[in-house]
Structure 1
């Protein structure tokens, strides 16, 4: 297992290195992207190895595609297409040519979405054509599919914000299975990422917690709550980065997370406007400014910010 993790880390590093020039071009020519009015409240962002970005919308649904040449964002698929509704997490898998998208009926939290499709789903789309390849419904009554991470064996892991479960889709499987169910995780599961140590790491949006979950084949190992160096406020998207992770918090920060034993050091890298998603594209970090406070804060509810943007910054120097 250790060798498999090491191979996965090396492969990931090579993929990132291959796109360094791409990332530099983006940072130099386009430090931000203003999203169209048809895609407000972005929830997540994904990137292919050649720097193409994909962005979801928690309120209006659909997924935007933002090309490397800096042209205007275009619909990868339109709101409500392919029986989708509110779109949450997105994850690009270059190896299989797939974009994974979480689609949900979020009406329980006051978000109607662009269709009447019930349930929580993860859907696989062809990265080139945009065609639907497969769809899987989360097999529990209370479910909101939020974010994704791949294991070293190709298993896809999915967080359920509405319950204390993480689901898995094993390679070639035709249905999702529960990987772990634990009441410790009931604080609104959100961001998820695979650590260099071969464990899964997840955060909880509502309770502001960070957990490590062991992987023992097809079953979960120990669930451990990590002690953070400072409180977390609405932690959201999270990606692996140099002995730890980069993570955004809805309160307005991009953080670097370094794990040592059962403790996690949280360092603020930069501030953003209500960040919700983060992705590495070469040597550039892209952050979605979802500004979800406008959906929940009584003083802001019913209004929209001036604009919704993706913002880029170079990787922090060591």
Structure 2
């Protein structure tokens, strides 16, 4: 049976489709990871978030058009649809992260306002649903998520300057509005809070505001919010944040740039040290580091109807 017929048969049968990349056939790290698309969706398939497990072998990618969660093997390049469209009330998905226990956290973007479903989900490594929760604010857009030093997950809201905290407490999973900075951060049109990481000293959250190009510091002790001094760096359309040590990489989606800054220990100041153009034919939304490579999600957000190939692109990091 030819490849196209195999794909059609797998989709019609509702089976998981395993997609190897050509580089994976050799003993090399893949330079791209091919994701299965949904040929029945009138928008094609569009993607947003990525999470990597602590062993840096497995990654998870969210699909905004349907809410599927894809899973891939960093070493072999094989991918599959791990959680199907519509699972657990999910019609769309955004940020993804993985904690030390391998649990997968998924931000729902506007899922609750569009479909009446949950705002976020937590899954066990075997795909078992642990929690499907709604936040206690109106019109939320849960964009991205990181794991704090306390083991809780912290989600950003792109429709208001708020951060939500999710943790297992008193025998159940709970979510609450952990910080509300409406008196400090003006809400503007477009996407407000997005990418989020923990500062090098583990005492604060560093958050990007994409529509203004500003970085914000949220104290983990008090929730106090202040702007991070970025000097004259232009971070407009900042989306995903990736921090390793004191090196902060900022994925600037529609600007098609990857900005690299040196972040101080406390997360109060950052200085631009390098900037590179990314592929002009792609709009990367966010990234994670896995086995010495930066895995960037090609969103297809610039295509009215997304067309394959659907890919995560790997860039080798220079030490």
CA distance 1:64–1:214, change in 2 (3 Å)? same
Residue 235 of structure 2 corresponds to residue 232 of structure 1: yes
CA RMSD of aligned residues (A): 2.6
1:22-60 deviation digits (Å, cap 9, x = unpaired): xx9999331112222228221011112141111101123
Structure 2: distance between partners of 1:28 and 1:228 = 40
Residue 243 of structure 2 corresponds to residue 243 of structure 1: no
Q: 2:36 corresponds to which residue?
A: 36
Unpaired stretches in structure 1, ≥5 consecutive residues: 1-23, 109-115, 295-301
Counting only pairs closer than 5 Å after superposition, residues 167-316 of structure 1 correspond to structure 2 as 167-172=164-169, 174-183=173-182, 184=185, 186-187=187-188, 188-197=192-201, 198-216=203-221, 219-250=222-253, 251-260=255-264, 261-265=268-272, 267-269=274-276, 271-272=278-279, 273-294=282-303, 302-305=304-307, 307-316=309-318
CA distance 1:224–1:305, change in 2 (3 Å)? same
Structure 2: distance between partners of 1:230 and 1:69 = 35
C-alpha deviation, 1:66, in angstroms: 1.1
Question: Quick check: 227-236 or 207-216, which moved more?
Answer: 227-236
Rg larger for: 2
How many residue pairs are counted as aligned between the two chains?
Answer: 276
C-alpha deviation, 1:63, in angstroms: 0.4
Given that 2:90 and 2:118 are in contact with CA atoms closer than 8 Å, whether structure 1 keeps it comes out as no
1:209-236 deviation digits (Å, cap 9, x = unpaired): 21112221xx302422433433223111
Give the secondary structure class of the aligned counterpart of 1:254.
Answer: strand
Question: Quick check: 168-177 or 40-49, which moved more?
Answer: 168-177
* TM-score, length basis structure 1: 0.78
CA distance 1:170–1:262, change in 2 (3 Å)? same
Given that 2:210 and 2:237 are in contact with CA atoms closer than 8 Å, whether structure 1 keeps it comes out as yes
* TM-score, length basis structure 2: 0.78
Q: 1:164 corresponds to which residue?
A: 161
Q: 1:100 corresponds to which residue?
A: 105
Structure 2: distance between partners of 1:138 and 1:68 = 33
Residue 132 of structure 2 corresponds to residue 135 of structure 1: yes
Given that 1:228 and 1:266 are in contact with CA atoms closer than 8 Å, whether structure 2 keeps it comes out as no
Give the secondary structure class of the aligned counterpart of 2:115.
Answer: coil
